[in-house]
Each structure stands twice: as structure tokens, then as C-alpha cells.
Amino acid sequence: MSAERLRVIECGARDGRPVIRRHDERQVGPLFFGPGDANLLCGACTFLLIRGANGAHSIRDAVVECPNCGSCNQASRPAPDPGSPAPPAPRPASP
């Protein structure tokens, strides 16, 4: 299983995205488990946040709060800047 450290962001910079957090005081084990082959770690303290993810970008538009250190971790690519150019359209398949 591969391990991937998430990118730490300012908790105030979550831009309205939902926050995945533990609602009790325990600081053990991952927040949740999945069937994938990647472990997602806190970018600040390397606490195991999610075991069995399908990579960091499998969780979309959410922030994961570390129960160990309180850091906010971005689990997906940020939305594109509205002022940035659109990505090129995909080319049609050749016949």
C-alpha cells in the first residue's frame, strides 16, 4: 500500500468545502477506511487519516481535519481560478 501526505492548508481557506473530522476526542486510527491501495497521511504530522483510499484525489471538494494535530489537509485539487484559461479540449479519437 502506498502512502501519500496531503497538502496542509489554512483552515480558514477551505472556501466553503465540507470538513471531514472526528467528532469524539479519540486520536487513534484513521478517520475511515476504503477498498483502495493508498493511505492518506496528514501533511503536518503524518497521522494516518484515511486507510485504503484511491489516491488523494478520490476525495473531492473536501478538507480533512487531523485529529492528532488539528491541521486542515486538502484532499483534492483546488478548483481552478476563475481568471485562468480553460484547459484545452480533448482531441477526438482517430478513426
Tens-place pLDDT, residues 41-70? 999 999 999 899 886 666 777 889 999 999
Number of domains in the chain: 1
Determine, yes or no, domain membership for 93. no
- What per-residue confidence (pLDDT) applies to 25? 72
- What per-residue confidence (pLDDT) applies to 71? 94
Task: Catalogue the E-assigned strands of 1-95.
Answer: 2-5, 7-9, 19-20, 32-33, 38-41, 48-53, 63-65, 72-74
Band of residue 24 on the pLDDT scale cut at 50, 70, 90:
confident
- Supply the range of the domain harboring residue 69: 2-74
pTM above 0.75, yes or no: no
Distance of CA 85 to the CA centre of its chain: 24
Q: Percentage of the chain surpassing pLDDT 70? A: 73
pLDDT at 86 over 60: no
Q: Cell 486520536 maps to which residue? A: 27
Determine, yes or no, domain membership for 53. yes
